[in-house]
Amino acid sequence: SRFETCWPALMKDSHGVIIVFNPELPGHLKELEMWYSCFVQQQPLLDAQCLLVAHHKPGSAGDTENLALAYPLNKLKLIHSNLEDDPEDVRMEFIKYFRSIITSINESREREEMSIIS
């Protein structure tokens, strides 16, 4: 990718990664592993800090809802988004994800403070 030189700046001090892809494009499914490797494993971030979003375009074939991803991607939280359907589910999943990230940030901050005190 022509933006690879920017990746270190994007990754610096990041607490989470959301990867959005089109499940109907075989190329996107192949690239998923590369994005996961670069942005999650090499950071390193925990799998819980990564969210996969399979975005379905309006009028697309809905049979990709039963998307079976191979290891290690199958360990990650996967949500399906479709703007034609009720977007409330997706909104709730995003809120849950952000809450979990905030919780992990607060916990690591507390651990740091305790290690400084002790």
- Residues 63-114 pLDDT 10s: 556 788 889 999 999 999 887 777 888 899 999 999 999 999 999 899 999 9
- Report in angstroms the alpha-carbon separations of 3 from 6, 9, 10, 34, 80: 5, 11, 10, 14, 26
Number of C-beta neighbours around residue 97 at 10 A: 19
Ranked by mean pLDDT, the top range of 3-12, 18-27, 52-61 is 18-27
What pLDDT was estimated at residue 12? 86
Query: The domain 7-117 is classified under which CATH number: 3.30.420, 1.20.140, 3.40.50, 2.120.10?
Result: 3.40.50
DSSP state of 57: P
* Per-domain residue ranges of the chain: 7-117
For residue 38, which phi and psi values (nearest 5 degrees)? Answer: -70, -45
- Note the pLDDT of residue 1: 57
Residue-wise pLDDT tens digits, 22-60: 998 888 888 999 999 999 998 889 999 999 999 988 777
